[in-house]
Amino acid sequence: MSEHQTEQDGARTQLTEYLARNGMKQTRQREAILESFLGVSGHITSENLYEYVRAQYPDIGAATVYRALKLFCDAGLAHALHFQDGVTLYEHEGHHHDHLICVGCGEIVEFECDDIEDFQLRIARDHGYRLTKHRHHLYGYCAKCQSSGTDRK
Amino acid sequence: MSEHQTEQDGARTQLTEYLARNGMKQTRQREAILESFLGVSGHITSENLYEYVRAQYPDIGAATVYRALKLFCDAGLAHALHFQDGVTLYEHEGHHHDHLICVGCGEIVEFECDDIEDFQLRIARDHGYRLTKHRHHLYGYCAKCQSSGTDRK
DNA sequence: TTGATATTGATAATCGTTCTCAACTAGCGT
DNA sequence: ACGCTAGTTGAGAACGATTATCAATATCAA
Ligand SMILES: [Mn+2]
Ligand SMILES: [Mn+2]
Ligand SMILES: [Zn+2]
Ligand SMILES: [Zn+2]
């Protein structure tokens, strides 16, 4: 039994418990969508996940996928991100990190910086704020896109 | 002649030069919209600025305001921000800063942190990226919203 | 098995923003 | 001043990811 396997089982259990705790139902659709979501690594849109889901379960509707992903966030299984205005990307919930995005090819690099996290808390405290979340995105050109000079801008 | 006055004149000149340099035309509408924009301090949506503009110039259309604000960004007079997905806020272009947003009352606090800026550059460099911009938003509850406990969430 | 309640899928609606396009100018050369 | 031409405008349609609606259907505790 791989680490990956236990992680997925953990997620399934987590959803089941969340549903029970909130008087919600465990449906075929939610199980299928969770399965697809867990099978994806990285960042994905609802629309894109819908494609994957539909490949195996053609009867599941798009609205259900949108709803499920939001549910997964509420249940602590997923995390929503907004790199470009207008599209939501989801990733597996895990240890906190922020992102570096290549505006050339779309590559996404994850990073962690405790120092920055500390400064954020200090800034919030200095202004009397209690932080609930933050959004820290760095945009630029990756090494590859810099060398293949044929880029926009 | 106040500092404020010269700042506004500077902006007007900047737009005029940008337009000339790019074979674009200086129109009544653009002048009027710039006037309204300069009269606003802080952060404002296109839609909201359109209200102001319309009060003085009822014939100017919404599309023109949307276009003008985008133009002002290109000309280096304005800066676009996305605190909530789906709405664009504009502010006067000035020295760089980031934002602390109260999710209770919507208050926006501006902050600067050279240390964070430095870490950002280091992170980018470590990954071979050349940064073009970043988005750093801290969300939380301001002091006032924390005490008046009657808040959402 | 039943029945109350939650969920689903198709589709309409949302909403800030952009696009379309015919009418209208700014601004150059004359 | 005049005229040309390319850029600009305003109204309204179109967009696009997401959400709301709602009748049909599935879940699950009793
Ligand atoms: Mn990530
Ligand atoms: Mn600001
Ligand atoms: Zn790249
Ligand atoms: Zn507040």
Q: Which of A123, A131, A132 sits opposite B111 (nearest CB)?
A: A123
* Structural domains of chain A in order of their starting residue, each with its CATH number: 3-92 (1.10.10.10), 98-152 (3.30.1490.190)
Question: What are the angstrom distances between the C-alpha of A148 and each of A124, A152, B89, B130?
Answer: 41, 11, 34, 13
Note whether A151 and A105 are within 8 A (CB). no
B128: tokens are 């071979």
Put simply, whether A5 touches B (Cβ < 8 Å) is no
Average pLDDT in chain B: 94
The pLDDT score that the predictor gives to residue A5 is 72
The pLDDT score that the predictor gives to residue A1 is 52
- Nucleotide with the nearest C1' to A27 CA: D27
Q: Say if the Cβ atoms of B128 and A140 lie within 8 Å.
A: no
Q: CB neighbours of A63 closer than 8 A, spacing ≥ 6?
A: none
Looking at per-residue pLDDT, the higher value among B5 and A125 belongs to A125
The side-by-side arrangement of strands in the sheet containing B108-111 is: A108-111, A98-102, A130-141, B130-141, B98-102, B108-111
The pLDDT score that the predictor gives to residue B59 is 97
DSSP H or E run through B73: helix B62-74
State yes or no: pLDDT of B15 exceeds 90.
yes
Pairing of strands B89-92, B98-102: unpaired
B20-65 pLDDT per residue, tens = 999 999 999 999 999 999 999 999 999 999 999 999 999 999 999 9
Angstrom distance (rounded) from CA B68 to CA A123: 34
With contacts defined as CB-CB under 8 Å, which chain A residues touch B138? 120, 123-124, 129, 131, 134
Looking at per-residue pLDDT, the higher value among A4 and B137 belongs to B137
Q: How confident is the model at residue B150 (pLDDT cuts 50, 70, 90)?
A: low
Side chain identity, residue A139: Y
State yes or no: pLDDT of A153 exceeds 50.
no
Mean pLDDT of all residues in B92-117? 97
Closest Cα in chain B to A121: B138
Instruction: Tell me which residues have their CB below 7 A from strand D.
Output: A 19-20, 25-28, 45-47, 62-63, 66, 70, 86-88; B 19, 23-25, 27, 29-30, 59-64, 67-68
Surface of B (116-135) touching A: CB under 8 A:
116, 119-120, 123-124, 127-135
Q: CB neighbours of B124 closer than 8 A, spacing ≥ 6?
A: A100, A138, A140, B130, B131
State yes or no: pLDDT of B152 exceeds 90.
no
DSSP H or E run through A49: helix A46-56
Mean pLDDT of all residues in B94-107? 96
